[in-house]
Amino acid sequence: MRIRKFEWADLEAITGLFNDIGGMRGTPRELGTDAMKGMLTVPGCDPERHCFIAEDSGKLVGYSLVAYEEPISRAVASGGVLQEHRGKGIGRALMRCVVEHAEELGVGSLHVEAGVTHSDTQHLLSSHGMDVVKSLWKMRWQQEEVPEVNLPAGFATRSLVMGQDEQVLTDLQNVAFEENWGFSPNTVEQIRSRVKHNSGGPEGILLITEGGKPAAYNWTMFFADEREPNGIIAMTGVRPEYRGRGIGRAVVAAGIAHLVERGVKYVDLEVESENTPARELYLKLGFRKVGSSVWYEKRFR
């Protein structure tokens, strides 16, 4: 077994690895190589520098991808090891590389998300000096009745227009989340790349405006499946000056309605368990808790 850096010749193999480890193989959420390439070519990702590959007898069996968020001096690691190759020290070797890499980058903190039922992963992270700092609820909407989109007078909903709204979305997202834990400001180049490769297209990114001024957005993702099409609400943001006016509820309802129009049977999202206003809003819209995860942190200074 050896650990090495990612090379672009690994694209097809790491795509399969990503799907197998994430349990997406054979599901509507399975990534193809084009989608994987899109994810790895988001400006700032730089997988040849920040992605580690574990090989066993020439076969890719695990990986760790480090997202370097220089503006907030943070690194976020994701990845895993194939089920049949666990228990051989591969995950521990990858984790050592991640910690050493984060130290070399000079970041203040390293974060890793883990499912609450993944005891082996939690033990691995704890053994590297990481502590739980945040918990998330995984929620699902699966209702017969779609919530109404009730907008105040003067407000309107529309889809994002590629080539026109990337700067608008970048500014809106950055101001909506600037005080949120773990949020690193995005550049317009990063947003443009993510919009281009969004599952469900730019029409799945909804904007609420007042007199043309953007007030809120809902970023949805759509996964086609003949048996059970489904969707994700990836992000929801409201400008601070528009909060407390029902805009957040309206933009989430608009996202649900958009996905239902495309035929989805259910909609998933994640929310911080400590974010009581957002959590209660989703519950009132018909979402129910179906799982949870925790974020681990290692401080370097």
pLDDT at 27 > cutoff 80:
yes
pTM assigned to the model: 0.93
Q: What percent of the chain has pLDDT over 70?
A: 100
Gap between the Cα atoms of 139 and 136, Å rounded:
9
Residue whose pair of structure tokens reads 């043309």 in the numeric block = 212
Give the per-residue pLDDT at 213: 94
Give the per-residue pLDDT at 24: 92
Give the per-residue pLDDT at 49: 98
* 36 in Cβ contact with 29 (< 8 Å): no
Give the per-residue pLDDT at 117: 81
* 21 in Cβ contact with 82 (< 8 Å): yes
SS3 state at 103:
helix
* 220 in Cβ contact with 258 (< 8 Å): yes
Give the per-residue pLDDT at 225: 77
Domains of the chain with CATH codes: 2-107 (3.40.630.30), 143-264 (3.40.630.30)
pLDDT at 118 > cutoff 90:
no
Ramachandran quadrant class, 211 (left: phi over 0; alpha: psi -120 to 50; beta: rest) = left
* 118 in Cβ contact with 21 (< 8 Å): no
* pLDDT digit string, tens, across residues 155-181: 999 999 999 999 999 999 999 999 999
Read off the pLDDT band of 291 (50, 70, 90).
Answer: very high
CA 250 vs CA 40, 193, 208, 243: distances in Å? 33, 27, 9, 11
Give the per-residue pLDDT at 301: 83
Q: Provide the b/e sequence for 193-219 (b: ≥16 CB within 10 Å).
A: bbbeebbbbbbbbbbbbbeeebbbbbb
Q: Which of 150, 157, 151 is nearest to 209 (CA)?
A: 157
Give the per-residue pLDDT at 116: 85
Q: Which residue has the higher pLDDT, 198 or 301?
A: 198
Mean pLDDT of all residues belonging to the chain: 95
Read off the pLDDT band of 28 (50, 70, 90).
Answer: confident
* pLDDT digit string, tens, across residues 225-252: 777 889 999 999 999 999 999 999 999 9
Give the per-residue pLDDT at 82: 96
